[in-house]
Amino acid sequence: MNVSMVLAVLYEQFIIKPEHKEQRQVYKQQSIGFVVSRLHSTDSESRIAGLTALSAILSGVIEVGNEIFADEAVLTVAIQMAESFDPSCQAIAAEALTLAASDKTRCEGIMAKGLPALKQLYHSSENQVKVRALVGLCKLGASSGGNVNSKPFADGATLKLEKMCRHFLVKNKKRQNLSKDLLLLIHQLDMLFHDR
């Protein structure tokens, strides 16, 4: 989270001062280059580093993160990592998919291709994976933005997801090792259900 804040402050400085337009472009190019080069690697450690960097960028500078996630290959790699058997790959893939689901265009792509992977991750025995997948499913369920004609899930499924989130929070509120995951969940749910 600290890296995300530093990236956001740095990018804001480039936006505030018009004379830094070139630096903003260099920032974008270097961010995109770093993440894409790691994700195109066949080494799982490089891919984890790439998705971790993408998650930090999505948390701090969503404009650049969405530009990176617009690449179809990035979504494909995230889904491949979500479908792996390695819990660390699953956790970082679920987090990246969840963070990317804040943009309606990305939600449509994730709904079309990544929904089965998120559903599978929700049934994981690893709580760090399960909570991230649950938040992602909730964000996808709320992606219609109140448009009654656009229902990403069947009737009542989004409310069922909300109840699962509440259940998960109540059930696990005394477990210290889930504090980061629960903080992420609480923050995302506050944003997701703020208007209700």
Structure tokens at 65: 């993160």
What's the pTM?
0.77
**Cβ(190)–Cβ(166) below 8 Å:** no
**Cβ(95)–Cβ(132) below 8 Å:** yes
Burial class (CB in 10 A: 0-12, 13-18, 19+), 45: exposed
Mean pLDDT per 10-residue run, the chain (196 residues)?
A: 77 74 86 92 91 91 88 91 92 90 76 86 87 82 57 65 70 55 57 48
